[in-house]
Every structure is written in C-alpha cells, then in structure tokens.
Amino acid sequence: MRHLPYPKIALAAQDTTGGRWIATEKIHGAQLTLATDGSLTRVGKRKAWLAGDEPFFGWQLLRDRLTATALAAHHACGGTVRLYGELYGGAYPSPSVAAVPGVSAVQTGVWYCPGVRFALFDVLVGDPAEYLPYDEIAAIAAAGGVDAVPLLARGTRAEMGATPTRFPTTVPGALGLPALPGNLAEGVVVRADARLPAGRRPILKRKIPEFDERRFDASRPFDPRAALTAGELAAVALGMVNPARVASARSKVGALATAIAEEVALDVLVDLADAFPAAMARLDDAAEAALAARLRAAALA
C-alpha cells in the first residue's frame, strides 16, 4: 500500500471559499498516518510506514485503537482510506497527576496529558480522493476509541479567520486534568468544512510566536529500552485493555469469553514487547505468566 504524506498546511491564504468553515486547535505532536483497504492496515510516520517493532513514541501502545479507527473509516466509506492525526502527550507536570511509566513527552511546550494519545485531524477517502468534514471525522475517531482534534468554532471564512490564536489549550480540561499556568495552545487550523476534493480543500494554520523558540524542541526520544519494573509494565499493560481491543479479539475468536480474554492478553503482550522489548525480555516465565493472568482477568471484567 502506497504511503501518501499529508500535504503541508499553509501559514496564510487568500482563499475566500464560501459555505461553512471550522477552526480547530492545532495539536503539538508527532504526525501519524494510517491506511487500510479493509484487509491490510498500515501505520506510518510523516514520510514512511513503520515496522511493527519500530520505535516511534511508543505507538504500539495504541496499535489496537489505531487499527480500529482505520477500519471504522473503511466500514463507513469503503475502499482504501487514509487517516492523519497526531500522537501527543506523554508528560503532564502537575503534582496531582501521576506519570505513566516508560513514556516521555512527544513534544514539549504544550502539556496535554501523562499518557500518549492519538488525535485524528483528517480522513481521505474515495477515488478521486476527497477529505471528509469534521463531524464524520469525529464519528470515526469515536468509533475507534481515539480523539478528534478539538473543535473551537464554526462559521464563515471571515469569522474563522478572526478566531483568536492565543488561548490555553483545551485538551487537558477535556480529559479531566487540572489546568497548568501558561499552558497555551500551539495555535489554530482553519478550513472549509465540507466533503471536498484533495488539492481543492482550503486549509491554513496560525501558530503563536513562541513556537519559533527552541524551548519547544526539547522533547526526549521515546526509549524502547526503558528500565520498567514488572509493576510498571503491568500498569501500562492493563491500560491497553480497552473496548476496541476486546472487540477486535471477539472478531477473531468468536463470542466465548475465555477465548476473547486469551486473545486480548496475547495481543497486549505482543504490542508491549514491540514497545518495550528490553523490559519484556527481563521478565522471567513466572512474571510473564502472572502478567498474562492479570490481562485475562481485566478482559473478563
């Protein structure tokens, strides 16, 4: 399946296309591309597909939800679909919010949440290819158990062009996290909100000036060799048991609860080994069996 990079968004535009427009918060993260034809699903960085065990901010921890989201788009639209979004989060410097073991900030400068999440911002479907409007994108994200980029406003092109660029990020509040002083959004993305052909859908971004400063480039690379304890691995693993993964297991093995639980446990262990190979390799047989048992119990709960 051919990798199709997302086109660069202009910083300014003179387009005066009528109809409804929207403004969304621009998430400061690492772009992730998904594609599926219903049988094969691929996950990639901005310019290339990722191998299953390739380090990239621990994306394997979300692999089940990413796959579910891509398949939701395929089921809704048919054919080959391409989805674009941002991996984000990984750190939240609040004394009342616990860190997630083994992960680090995808980007710095805006703090979103302690764990790594995915926010969908565009879906490309059909031949000839068209971009979907926001409500359809949000529905696909919800079906896959991921986020959609936050919607700030709807209106005319002129109204959306006047949307303030400088404001506190809306993401932590939406996730139930306490606010952090000075935690400003990166900016806004303004676009026509209709099903429009690729290459003809007007879209532009506006960022706050601070994002030209070096302090926003201080994130540390994800470390697949992080020295997690068995307890920390278990905490991460249990967080990977979710409705999307259970539904995927059910589609593979049928309705028997014990078979579903076994499939979920195996699936989580595979993704965990790809994300944290060194920590998983340090588990002895008894510790891995105990972890699998906890995963099966969580899937049955």
Q: Which of these three, 155, 182, 217, is where a domain ends?
A: 217
Question: Is 197 a domain residue?
Answer: yes
The predicted structure's pLDDT at residue 237: 92
CA–CA distance, 150 with 159 (Å, rounded to integer): 17
The reply to whether 180 and 254 lie within a common domain is no
For 285, other C-beta atoms within 10 Å of its C-beta total 7
- Same-domain pairing of 152 and 208: yes
CATH number at residue 80: 3.30.470.30
pLDDT on residue 252: 79
Nearest CA-CA partner of 275 in 118, 43, 59: 59
Per-run averaged pLDDT (10 residues), the chain, 301 residues: 86 68 96 96 94 92 96 97 97 95 90 98 94 98 98 95 95 98 96 91 89 50 80 90 86 86 91 88 90 94 88
> Does 3 fall in a domain?
no
Q: Same structural domain for residues 245 and 271?
A: yes
Contact indicator for 249, 260 with CB cutoff of 8 Å: yes
Same domain, 51 and 142: yes
**Same-domain check for residues 130 and 204:** yes
Query: Which of 40, 59, 26, 76 has its CA nearest to residue 184?
Result: 26
Domain boundary among 217, 242, 266: 217
End-to-end CA distance of the chain: 38
Q: Does the residue 6 lie in any domain?
A: no
Q: What pLDDT does residue 247 have?
A: 84
Task: Answer yes or no: is 4 within a domain.
Answer: no
Is the residue at 7 inside a domain?
Answer: no
> Using CA atoms, how far apart are residues 298 and 292, in angstroms rounded to an integer?
10
- Which residue in the block uniquely carries the two structure tokens 């994300």? 275
Distance CA 198, CA 195 (A): 9
42 shares a domain with 118: yes
Q: What is the pTM of this model?
A: 0.80
Report the helix count and the strand count for the chain, using DSSP H and E. Answer: 9, 11
Q: Quote the number of domains for the chain.
A: 2
Residue count of the chain? 301
- Which one of 173, 193, 217 terminates a domain? 217
Q: Give residue 268's domain range.
A: 230-300
Which pLDDT value is given to residue 212? 52
Q: Are residues 208 and 293 in the same domain?
A: no
| 184 and 37 in a common domain | yes
Say yes or no: 179 and 37 in one domain.
yes
> Is 10 a member of any domain?
no
Q: Would residue 186 count as lying in a domain? A: yes
**Residues 36, 136 within the same domain:** yes
Q: Which residues does 109 contact at the CB level (< 8 Å), separation at least 6?
A: 28, 186, 210, 211, 215, 216, 218
Shared-domain flag, residues 106 and 64: yes
Q: What is the pLDDT of residue 215?
A: 43
Residues 37 and 158 in one domain: yes
Residue 225 covered by a domain:
no
Sheet with 203-207, edge to edge strand ranges = 151-155, 21-26, 187-192, 203-207
